[in-house]
Structure 1
Amino acid sequence: MAPNDSAETNGEATGTVVGRRKKARYIVPFAVAGVAAATIGLVPALAASGDPELPDITAQELIEKIAASDQEQLSGTLKISTDLGIPSLGGIASSFAPDAGGGDASAAPESKLMELASGTHTLRVAADGPDKQRLSILGEGSEYSLVHNGDDVWGYDSESNEVYHAKAEGAERPGGKHKAPEGVPATPKELADKALAAAGDTTSVTVDGTAQVAGRDAYQLLIKPKQSGSTIGSIRVAVDSATGVPLKFTLATSSGGKAAVDAGFTKVDFSKPDASSFSFTPPKGAKVTEADELKAAAGKDGAARKAPKDLGALEDFKGLDVIGEGWNAVAEIDAPGGAGLPAQGSGDMPAQAQQFLDALGDKVTGDFGSGTVFKTRLVNALLTDDGKVYVGAVTQDTLVKAADAAE
């Protein structure tokens, strides 16, 4: 069993592999559920069985092994379980999808990603370098597939027999780098990269034994905040001992109980997938919608809808500021329109949205004034009555203290 070697991520220990915690993009005020769904890109899950004997390795060496992994070919099956403690999104989730303005786009990726914000899902994945990836979400008697092959990205919903088509990013540029759209569920390696990027000198990183995942021997990397006040208790990453590819992760909340997100391979193969995995032709009779058509339709409605972007930058938000550091960082932004929530019963908010807010919200007061905290197990947001928003993966008390400090 590997020793419990520790490497505090102070910059010197990890070099460029682990950077300061990235700021996060959040949707407000009542799309806290969308934020929680996006945090799937941050997290991982615990290996379940087996304690193989492996050579000793330090945390630093294991992090470097992940960073050095050049495995670009794989296929397998993933299981993802998410328990963020949010009510069912119901019709509210669909209002954020591209077809909310009347366009028919059930096969668009944005329409499907919100489903991963709760419950347990089985996914099949395949990859062959940066230009070929396939991801399928398996349902009961149906399947949603997202295929990236060179210049093209296809989404297909077998239940509705609808197809979404877009040009991959950079496809129009000669020699451009092809990429699938941001917000598309990532491989375990990409998820682990995000988790490691969140580490800084406020973080403890250790090797915490070994495990067996999908029939492969793995080391377990344990990432924990040193600070109190975060909703994140720990992140555990099972790393394939041979390839350095993260196989499974778990995000545990500081409040305990079931893991907030558990995502990992149940079957994995690192050989080259068959080329047919990345070929797609719209089935006969399927309705095909081009991404440009959706953008045009959204523009006519006066409300362009965007896919959830990578948890990378809040710079787009007006008046953004960050209070605190590390795991206790809280983003302060101006609420859209510069006002707080409509008064209950005012008629300014749909009844369903008001019901959703009431299920999540707690009234709070402090030096900042008064407001409402909307809670999930992972991400909390405070909307003050004077139109400020404070968001972070922190507890309610930490959120209120941040708002008080900003006054």
Structure 2
Amino acid sequence: MAPYEPEQDTSEAGQLRLGRRKAARYVVPVAVAGVAAATIGLVPALATSGDPDLPKVTAQELIEKIAASDTQQLSGTVKISTDLGLPSMGGMAGGFAGGGDAGGGEGGGGSAADPKNKLMELASGTHTLRVAADGPDKQKVSLLEDAAEYSLIHNGDEVWAYDSASNEAYHAKGFQVSGDKGDKGDKGDKGQAESPAGMPATPEEFAEQALKAVDDTTSVKVDGTAQVAGRDAYRLVIEPKQSGSTVGRITVAVDAKTGTPLKFTLTPSSGGAAVIDAGFTKVDFGKPSASTFDFAPPKGAKVTEADEHAALSRDFKGRDFKGRDFKDHDFADKAKGGKEFKEEDLNDLKVIGEGWTSIAELRLPGGQGLPTAGSGDVPPDAQKLLDSLGDQVSGKFGSGTVFSTRLINALVTDDGKVYAGAVTKDALVKAANAAH
């Protein structure tokens, strides 16, 4: 079906932002930066069929419809996959994330059910999630695997996570919804809690981030209709107007009745399969059963309390490591040639450019380039991964290495500067040259 309207001019960007009260600009567009830890690739024709005949709407009206949506209850199945163009990391991902010891023994990576480790699996491959929500205090996400299931349940002030493969559970009390302690959110926030895992898992969460990137550097339009999970939807298209961005376009399928995003797709400017696609294959806006959010650890399950895990991590930092006294300052000294990590190094952040071509510039702690396997600071397997991802470049800034994905690229110079963003390699080199 043909688009309902021509591409909107930048003069309307201000109105679009008013229609989306939470559309605050990020230094690097959140539609990209928020997806750096967990990006999702294309699953063709996710339960879509036909182009329903719906009343015409403008982009501003559709954004306002999303903002006004107050969907508190739903359940369904979401299919997501990832295509960042990274080589397979095999079992290294768990080790880097701190989950090398699935059993959570001494010196290990804590509980195998810890959400911070487990849900990083969404950063690659294709996955199916079952989701359910009943207001701001009850949510559940289950990651379905071949012969196992991982569930994350938020009920009131408690969060439970259970990994059936290892028969381990993770428990946290005192969980709060977004905002200050005790704040249940206002209607503008739809009263929803932040994900306990700190990462988006549904089309709505991805769309929330994408809409924050709408500004004068962005084109927004309604591009026809679609049917997703058996429901009629409008297609909202968000595109950078600037050249040099790795983002080609973002498409959000918006439920025509409720205003709830049903599908989110991010296509890179380089073409090919999408980097991000998260869509419902089934969805029901009825109230889920109260028992959906009940959980008790199965008999024999190992339960790790969040405060116990934190204590274990603190204790591990002072443990003897390969015959050496392993302390924070000691590690800093050895990893950076005797120079300690300083907080001001991490806070010295600058932003070059604006909008979709924003580039973050910062200094590595110690003012030096990347450590190498030759210096003994990097394990050989990690060095192989870095070498497979990096391209050597040079310019007025000197020399360095560009680490590339299909979405986020980063230039690390030999003198300890980092330039990163959802931009091309050429844009990074140009920014580094201009900064010297």
| TM-score, normalised via structure 1 length | 0.88
1:198 maps onto 2:213 in alignment: yes
Say which of 360, 378, 400 aligns to 1:349.
378
Q: Counterpart in 2 of 1:307? A: none
Superposition RMSD in Å: 2.7
Say which of 121, 127, 134 aligns to 1:128.
134
Q: Counterpart in 1 of 2:305? A: 290
The structure-2 alpha-carbon separation of the partners of 1:20 and 1:397, relative to structure 1 and needing over 3 Å to count, comes to farther
1:300 maps onto 2:315 in alignment: yes
1:381 maps onto 2:410 in alignment: yes
Q: Counterpart in 2 of 1:51? A: 51
The structure-2 alpha-carbon separation of the partners of 1:361 and 1:336, relative to structure 1 and needing over 3 Å to count, comes to same
Is the 8 Å Cα contact of residues 345 and 365 (structure 2) preserved in structure 1? no
1:181 maps onto 2:196 in alignment: yes
| C-alpha separation in 1, matches of 2:28 and 2:174 | 24
| C-alpha separation in 2, matches of 1:369 and 1:83 | 32
Is the 8 Å Cα contact of residues 74 and 288 (structure 2) preserved in structure 1? yes
Q: Counterpart in 2 of 1:3? A: 4
Alpha-carbon offset, residue 98 of structure 1? 4.4
Amino acid at match of 2:171: H
Q: Counterpart in 1 of 2:71? A: 71
The structure-2 alpha-carbon separation of the partners of 1:96 and 1:6, relative to structure 1 and needing over 3 Å to count, comes to same
Q: Counterpart in 2 of 1:236? A: 251
Amino acid at match of 1:119: G
The structure-2 alpha-carbon separation of the partners of 1:294 and 1:56, relative to structure 1 and needing over 3 Å to count, comes to same
Counterpart of 1:317 in 2: which secondary structure? Answer: helix
Say which of 13, 20, 23 aligns to 1:19.
23
| TM-score, normalised via structure 2 length | 0.83
Alpha-carbon offset, residue 169 of structure 1? 3.1
| C-alpha separation in 2, matches of 1:249 and 1:277 | 26
| C-alpha separation in 1, matches of 2:285 and 2:279 | 15
| C-alpha separation in 2, matches of 1:125 and 1:5 | 36
Alpha-carbon offset, residue 392 of structure 1? 0.4
| C-alpha separation in 1, matches of 2:380 and 2:19 | 49
Question: Please, which runs of 5 or more residues in structure 1 have no aligned partner?
Answer: 27-32, 305-314
| C-alpha separation in 2, matches of 1:239 and 1:361 | 38
The structure-2 alpha-carbon separation of the partners of 1:168 and 1:61, relative to structure 1 and needing over 3 Å to count, comes to farther
Alpha-carbon offset, residue 334 of structure 1? 1.4
Q: Counterpart in 1 of 2:354? A: 325
| C-alpha separation in 1, matches of 2:220 and 2:152 | 34
| C-alpha separation in 2, matches of 1:199 and 1:34 | 15
Q: For 1:144-181, what per-residue CA distance to the aligned partner results, in whole angstroms no more than 9, with x for missing partners?
A: 0000000100110000000001124338x984546542
Question: Please, which runs of 5 or more residues in structure 2 have no aligned partner?
Answer: 101-106, 185-192, 318-326, 329-343
Alpha-carbon offset, residue 356 of structure 1? 0.6
Counterpart of 1:251 in 2: which secondary structure? Answer: strand
Q: Counterpart in 2 of 1:367? A: 396
Q: Counterpart in 2 of 1:161? A: 167
Q: For 1:101-150, what per-residue CA distance to the aligned partner results, in whole angstroms no more than 9, with x for missing partners?
A: 51431100111122111111000000001100000000001000000000
Counterpart of 1:10 in 2: which secondary structure? Answer: helix
Alpha-carbon offset, residue 296 of structure 1? 1.2
Alpha-carbon offset, residue 19 of structure 1? 3.2
The structure-2 alpha-carbon separation of the partners of 1:228 and 1:180, relative to structure 1 and needing over 3 Å to count, comes to closer
Amino acid at match of 2:354: E
Amino acid at match of 1:105: S
Amino acid at match of 1:4: E
| C-alpha separation in 1, matches of 2:138 and 2:81 | 26
Counterpart of 2:346 in 1: which secondary structure? Answer: coil
Q: How many equivalent residue pairs?
A: 389
Structure having the higher Rg? 2
Q: Counterpart in 2 of 1:403? A: 432
1:118 maps onto 2:105 in alignment: no
Amino acid at match of 2:246: T
| C-alpha separation in 2, matches of 1:167 and 1:98 | 22
| C-alpha separation in 2, matches of 1:13 and 1:229 | 24
Q: Counterpart in 2 of 1:139? A: 145
Alpha-carbon offset, residue 342 of structure 1? 2.4
Q: Counterpart in 2 of 1:30? A: none
The structure-2 alpha-carbon separation of the partners of 1:19 and 1:34, relative to structure 1 and needing over 3 Å to count, comes to closer
Q: For 1:190-246, what per-residue CA distance to the aligned partner results, in whole angstroms no more than 9, with x for missing partners?
A: 210100101210000000000000000000000000001011000000000000000
Counterpart of 2:401 in 1: which secondary structure? Answer: strand
Counterpart of 2:49 in 1: which secondary structure? Answer: coil
Say which of 207, 211, 217 aligns to 2:232.
217
Alpha-carbon offset, residue 70 of structure 1? 0.3
